Amino acid sequence: MTSGSATLNTTIYGEAPHTVLVRNDWTQAEIASIYHTPLMDLMYRAASVHRAFHNPLAVQQCTLLSIKTGGCPEDCGYCPQSAHYETGVQSEKLLNTDTVVTAARLAREGGSTRFCMGAAWRDVKDNAQFDQVLDMVKQVGAMGMEVCVTLGMLNQDQAHRLKDAGLTAYNHNLDTGEQFYDKIISTRTYKDRLETLKNVRIAGINVCCGGIIGLGETAEDRVDLIHTLCTLPEHPESVPVNALVAVKGTPLEEQQPVEVWQMVRMIATARIAMPKAMVRLSAGRVSMSLAEQALCFFAGANSIFTGEKLLTTSNCDFDEDKQMFELLGLEPLEPLRTVVV
Ligand code: SAM
Ligand code: DTB
Ligand code: SF4
């Protein structure tokens, strides 16, 4: 069971001060009602829950690195790395370990406390490449950073091996609601995704699981996604909220950008439904103004990816992010692990 509680120290208009429980018995109707709350109320409620569980000024900086780019056999309609689409992303071999460790060191020097390595794989195979990834995990972990990987589907044994190598978290997104899922991906099922999440959890690795908005889904699909996440036996410790980066050559290249209000609703609903999670303002930040990002932090986002690139697409300017932190009075979250080297 997910557990924990905190007393709200602010009074919400029309509500008595009360204890906010970490619940995993949310109903669909409850999540829908939160999602559709008038925006000003929603942001205030989310901000209040955020403050009851987290330091609202602390925002974790994370760095992404694509360790194996492109040529992926899956057909995720949003993804520039799928081999099914002509996007101009070149297929590359797995990076060597030294390159990865050097990138992690630079990320740490730049203030990142979490290093996330992504591979464009359908699933993990028990081969020399996986052994190499285990080594990368070991070395990055030894640098005192949280270390996360996203490698596609995973069985229980592989999850245990990653745990033994020192992995902190595994990213595996449900992406959207179950009803809409097969409009976006046909090469694997929602059930497959849930199975991997279960394997990660059983191995004692923290779960990083969120989704994307702007795929053409309805508000109901977004509610479905959050409902699935917040009714897992344990909430994901980390919930990335991505806005689609529409990439030329993918089936979703013509999608209209989402409005910031949809992003704010998603973040706020995730924050209220999963109070203890790190809610990460992820892809799509590059198209948002500073004021729009500020709304997302107010609504409960407490992490961003910094650095010039996400995996294959461009991200915000590092110095501008630094200025944003100064302007908003945000402080980078301190490392959660002890630095060994
Ligand atoms: N192959 C692995 C997998 O699918 O789990 C790992 C890499 S995959 C790129 C990680 C996540 O990035 C996806 O689940 C999706 O949520 C997000 N993502 C990929 N392309 C995106 C895009 N164009 N815009 C926004 N988010 C995207
Ligand atoms: C997540 O939810 N977002 C990050 C991370 N998990 C791996 C990835 C975003 C990728 C955006 C498209 C790209 O740069 O290729
Ligand atoms: Fe492959 Fe992951 Fe991209 Fe899907 S999202 S095509 S699984 S890299």
Mean pLDDT over 127-147 rounds to 97
Ligand 3 pocket mutation pick from 68, 79, 170, 312 by most atoms within 8 angstroms of CB: 79
Q: Tell me the CA distances in angstroms from 173 to 60, 176, 241, 254, one per residue in order.
A: 19, 8, 10, 23
Structure tokens at 283: 């892809």
Closest atom, ligand 2, to C-alpha of 280: 2
Q: What is the pLDDT of residues 25-38, one digit of tens each?
A: 999 999 999 999 99
Q: Report residues whose beta carbon is within 6 angstroms of any ligand 1 atom.
A: 78-80, 118, 120-121, 150, 152, 172-173, 175, 212, 242, 244-245, 247, 283, 311
Closest CA to 272 of 32, 1, 15, 17: 32
Tally of CB atoms within 10 A around 329: 8
At the top level of CATH, the class of 2-332 is alpha beta
Counting ligands in written order, the one closest to the CA of 311 is: 2
pLDDT surpassing 80 at residue 236? yes
Question: Residue-wise over 37-59: b if at least 16 C-beta within 10 A, else e?
Answer: beeeebbbbbbbbbbbbbebeeb
| Residue to mutate (ligand 2; options 74, 171, 244; most atoms within 8 A of CB) | 171
Which tens digits make up the pLDDT trace of 37-89?
A: 999 999 999 999 999 999 999 999 999 999 999 999 999 999 999 999 999 99
Residue 20 pLDDT class (50, 70, 90 cuts):
confident
pLDDT band of residue 338 (cuts 50, 70, 90) is very low
Show the CA angle centred on residue 234, arms to residues 79 and 177, nearest 5°: 35
* Rounded Cα distance, 90 and 104, in Å: 23
User: In this predicted model, what pLDDT tens digit does every residue of 84-127 receive, in sequence order?
Assistant: 999 999 999 999 999 999 999 999 999 999 999 999 999 999 99
User: Which ligand 2 atom is nearest residue 80's CA?
Assistant: 15
Instruction: For residue 250, report the distance from its CA to the centre of ligand 3, in Å.
Output: 12
> What are the b/e assignments for 255-264, b being 16+ CB within 10 Å?
beebebebbb
pLDDT score of 1 more than 60: no
More confident residue, 7 or 25: 25
User: What is the Å distance from ligand 3's center to 96 Cα?
Assistant: 21
Q: State residue 318's pLDDT score.
A: 93
Mean pLDDT, the chain, integer: 94
- Determine the distance separating the centroid of ligand 3 and the alpha carbon of 121, expressed in angstroms: 7
Mean pLDDT for the stretch of residues 276-294: 97
Q: Which residues are catalytic?
A: 72, 76, 79, 116, 148, 208, 280
Alpha carbon nearest to ligand 1 atom 5, residue: 152
Residue 171: enclosing H or E segment and its boundaries? Answer: strand 169-171
Can you name the residues that pair with 213 across neighbouring β-strands? Answer: 243
Is there an atom of ligand 3 within 6 Å of 152 CB? Answer: yes
Q: 72 CB less than 6 Å from ligand 3?
A: yes
Residue-wise DSSP of 48-95: HHHHHHS-TTEEEEEEEEEEE-S-BS---TT-TTBTTS--SPPP-PPP
Tokens for 53?
A: 């569980």
Q: Check: pTM over 0.75? Answer yes or no.
A: yes
Q: Which residues contact 259 (CB under 8 A, 6 or more apart)?
A: none
Average pLDDT over residues 256-261: 96
Q: What is the pLDDT of residue 216?
A: 97
Q: What per-residue confidence (pLDDT) applies to 2?
A: 53
> What's the pLDDT at 339?
45
- Nearest residue CA, atom 2 of ligand 2? 240
**Ligand 2 contacts CB of residue 315 (under 6 A):** no
Beta strand 5-7 pairing with 19-21: antiparallel
Residues in the chain: 341
- Specify the 3-state DSSP secondary structure of 206: strand
